[in-house]
Structure 1
Amino acid sequence: MTFPVVGMVGGGQLARMTHEAGIPLGIRFKLLSDTPQDSAAQVVGDVVVGDHRDPETLRAFARGCDVLTFDHEHVPTALLRELEAEGIPVRPGPDALVHAQDKGVMRARLDELGIPSPRHRIVAGPADAAAFAAETGGFPVVLKTVRGGYDGKGVWVVRSAGDEAAHEPFRAGVPVLAEEKVDFRRELAANVVRSPHGQAVAYPVVESIQVNGVCDTVLAPAPGLPEAEAVRAQELALTIARELGVVGHLAVELFETRDGRVLVNELAMRPHNSGHWTQDGAVTSQFANHVRAVLDLPLGDPRPRARWTVMANVLGGDYPDMYAAYLHCMARDPQLKIHMYGKDVKPGRKVGHVNVYGDDLPDLRERAAHAAGYLRGTIDE
């Protein structure tokens, strides 16, 4: 039997970890990467360097693949429709992926489905944003460019009609979405995986702790979340995956409000930072299940291996010698799982993550935070 070739568009750390998950399955990977130095390009054997926005480059790459999938949402929808018309399986397909590419399209579709979201409207300029604020209880409001934003980029909190931030989003030349600034208690994430024939699995709902708009720590499962509410969040994510026709991994980022509601914040149709804990903390990782889903293989067990798993992102700082740093972390805590992405260290850049699991949540949080801080260079003992 000839094992299938999975074509991954995008050479970042998500592609790197997805490739790793496919190795035990005997899956052959082919990568379309921006540069030979990208995280996944360092470890995948079959790499094409090129621009995913170029039709001929993408078409030539796809012809050597049995299925096409992604580690980002930036491939133009029109190009993906052309590939589908030529008989190349694209998973998730363009009709689903557009909901992760365009926040305006996503909000409109969720409204149609009756899925709870922050109050929102497409606005034409600062005056229109001020009118929206007046209708929804006043400033502050959140302005987002509908395309291109991630990790806090493309997002502005506007605190008054005269705030300079009210003008910034409109300079990007794309539509702008205004949303109410939700008074949330914490952020949650529901991660699910769905296959072409409709099989789906749901991971435990997690708490995602953000610092400056970037995920810092994930607690799996979300502490103190009542079982009934966790099940409702999982059902919400499964409903979105089914109704949008998602194939592969879907992350539904959620706000848990102070009055007990759960609102959908963002969607991501690829492996996601809030699911990195599954590499060590779940029976089947998000990466392995994404590979299974895009190939329409039976999905793996998403249940956790331990009562708690804590994931902490490692961000670059002023301390570039990660190798010496993780030797210390391994010696200090042999149960720690360190995952490095092969990236150059730059301040604020995600260069790796650590996982630790067990029965004592405060202890796990301290150990994960210490390792991430030591690797970044913010602590030295």
Structure 2
Amino acid sequence: MTFPVVGMVGGGQLARMTHEAGIPLGIRFKLLSDTPQDSAAQVVSDVVVGDYRDLDTLREFARGCDVITFDHEHVPTEHLRALEADGIPVRPGPDALVHAQDKGVMRAKLDAIGVPCPRHRIVSDPQDVAAFAAEGEGFPVVLKTVRGGYDGKGVWVVDSVEEAADPFKAGVPVLAEEKVDFLRELAANVVRSPHGQAVAYPVVESRQVGGVCDTVIAPAPGLDEGLAVRASEMALNIAKELGVVGHLAVELFQTRDGRILVNELAMRPHNSGHWSMDGAVTSQFANHVRAVLDLPLGDPRPRAEWTVMVNVLGGDYPDMYSAYLHCMARDPQLKIHMYGKDVKPGRKVGHVNTYGDDLDDVLERARHAAGYLRGTITE
């Protein structure tokens, strides 16, 4: 019996944790990584170092792979179409993935299928931004480059036409959106297989600091049941309408007047789903592996009443291993996940998960552990 080979494009922490989820299933991984030091390249045995933007490199990498998937959305769409033309399954395929690659395409498609979004349109210059602002409530306005942004990069909140010049310097189209007066940010994570089976994880609350995800609470505290069902159904419908195969994260705004609006899409395992590694029956990574191989999907239900994930960001304290003694002794139930990255200020180098029946306690344990690992808490 031969087990399939999953080709993973991208060597970051998402690839590392997806590989980890495939190990118990006997699934083999082949990795296309930028460098031998990348997070996943440290743990995957079959690593090709090369440029994912080069079609010949992609084609050579794909030899011997049963399916290709990704830990980022940056592979050129035309290259993915070429791989499909070569007979190589690409999941998610280019027709789906383009909606996570191009925010303009995403907004147009979501409008077409009736998904609620912030008011938006493509703008051509700062004066067009001012016109967009005047059509609504005025400044501030959110500007986004349609391609390439992540973790707050490629996003500007501008308060005047003078501040609107920088986004246009990149030479790519710019999307203007209203600045939503939201109550909080939510995320609906779903997984869909090629034959149409789909599962939905509990809707979570995602808290950002400086445009980067800091804390995720599963499930979102105090979320109206009807609103939670609507968010999950919306995410499942988006996955179906876009033909997504694998994991889809739908980032949402919960508005103060009780609506939910789609902010962003990600077609890969996502930071808002890291809690599921320890808090769900089947993690987002395990279900992504199952989906791209068209295996039956696993149970997404939570194991505990509350699970909290807090990202460990790099600071001025590089020796995180020395903090393990304190963290593990203080909280034997704590789950630490490190990515093998060099510590740099603000860089995601790991995360911690805690779980239990008391949300305040679970939150405090996760925040203490992440802070102690980073060095911002010393006792």
Q: TM-score range by the shorter chain?
A: over 0.9
Q: CA deviation at 1:233?
A: 0.2
Given candidates 167, 170, 174, the residue that maps to 2:168 is 170
Q: Work out the CA distance in 1 between the residues paired with 2:326 and 2:38.
A: 26
Provide the residue aligned with 2:265 in structure 1: 267
Is residue 33 of structure 1 aligned with residue 23 of structure 2? no
Q: CA deviation at 1:63?
A: 1.5
Q: CA deviation at 1:137?
A: 1.1
Counterpart AA for 1:123: V
**Residues 135-154 of structure 1: matches in 2 within 5 Å?**
135-154=135-154
**Residues 36-51 of structure 1: matches in 2 within 5 Å?**
36-51=36-51
What are the Cα deviations for residues 235-256 of structure 1, in whole angstroms up to 9, with x where unaligned?
A: 0000000000000000000000
DSSP 3-state at the match of 2:51: coil
Provide the residue aligned with 1:236 in structure 2: 234
Provide the residue aligned with 1:103 in structure 2: 103
Q: Work out the CA distance in 1 between the residues paired with 2:76 and 2:342.
A: 28
Q: Work out the CA distance in 1 between the residues paired with 2:158 and 2:166.
A: 10
TM-score, normalised with respect to structure 1: 0.99
Aligned alpha-carbon RMSD (Å): 0.5
Q: Work out the CA distance in 2 between the residues paired with 1:197 and 1:281.
A: 27
Counterpart AA for 2:216: V
Is residue 215 of structure 1 aligned with residue 208 of structure 2? no
**Residues 1-381 of structure 1: matches in 2 within 5 Å?**
1-163=1-163, 166-381=164-379
Counterpart AA for 1:368: A
Q: CA deviation at 1:136?
A: 1.1
Q: Work out the CA distance in 2 between the residues paired with 1:113 and 1:60.
A: 38
Q: Work out the CA distance in 1 between the residues paired with 2:308 and 2:195.
A: 32
Q: CA deviation at 1:228?
A: 1.1
Query: Which stretches in structure 1 are left out of the alignment for 5+ residues?
Result: none
Q: CA deviation at 1:203?
A: 0.1
Q: CA deviation at 1:161?
A: 2.2
What are the Cα deviations for residues 223-282 of structure 1, in whole angstroms up to 9, with x where unaligned?
A: 000111101000000000000000000000000000000000000000000000000000
Which portions of structure 1, spanning 4 or more consecutive aligned residues, are displaced by more than 2 angstroms? none
Q: Work out the CA distance in 1 between the residues paired with 2:146 and 2:140.
A: 19
Q: Work out the CA distance in 1 between the residues paired with 2:151 and 2:107.
A: 19
Q: CA deviation at 1:127?
A: 0.3
Q: CA deviation at 1:162?
A: 2.7
DSSP 3-state at the match of 2:232: helix
TM-score, normalised with respect to structure 2: 1.00
Counterpart AA for 1:355: N
Query: Which stretches in structure 2 are left out of the alignment for 5+ residues?
Result: none
Counterpart AA for 1:195: S
Q: Work out the CA distance in 2 between the residues paired with 1:234 and 1:261.
A: 14
Q: Work out the CA distance in 2 between the residues paired with 1:146 and 1:327.
A: 45
Identity among equivalent positions (%) equals 86
Q: Work out the CA distance in 2 between the residues paired with 1:229 and 1:23.
A: 36
Q: Work out the CA distance in 2 between the residues paired with 1:117 and 1:64.
A: 41
Counterpart AA for 2:273: G
What are the Cα deviations for residues 82-130 of structure 1, in whole angstroms up to 9, with x where unaligned?
A: 0001100000000000000000000000000010000001000100000
Counterpart AA for 2:62: A
Moved more, 327-336 or 145-154: 327-336
Counterpart AA for 2:11: G
Counterpart AA for 1:216: D
What are the Cα deviations for residues 40-82 of structure 1, in whole angstroms up to 9, with x where unaligned?
A: 0000000000000011100000112000000000000000000
Counterpart AA for 2:209: V
Q: Work out the CA distance in 2 between the residues paired with 1:161 and 1:61.
A: 46
Q: Work out the CA distance in 1 between the residues paired with 2:112 and 2:207.
A: 30
Moved more, 227-236 or 324-333: 324-333
What are the Cα deviations for residues 189-245 of structure 1, in whole angstroms up to 9, with x where unaligned?
A: 000000000000000000000000000000000000011110100000000000000
What are the Cα deviations for residues 167-203 of structure 1, in whole angstroms up to 9, with x where unaligned?
A: 1100011000000000000000000000000000000
Q: CA deviation at 1:152?
A: 0.3
Counterpart AA for 2:250: V
How many equivalent pairs are there? 379
Moved more, 181-190 or 329-338: 329-338
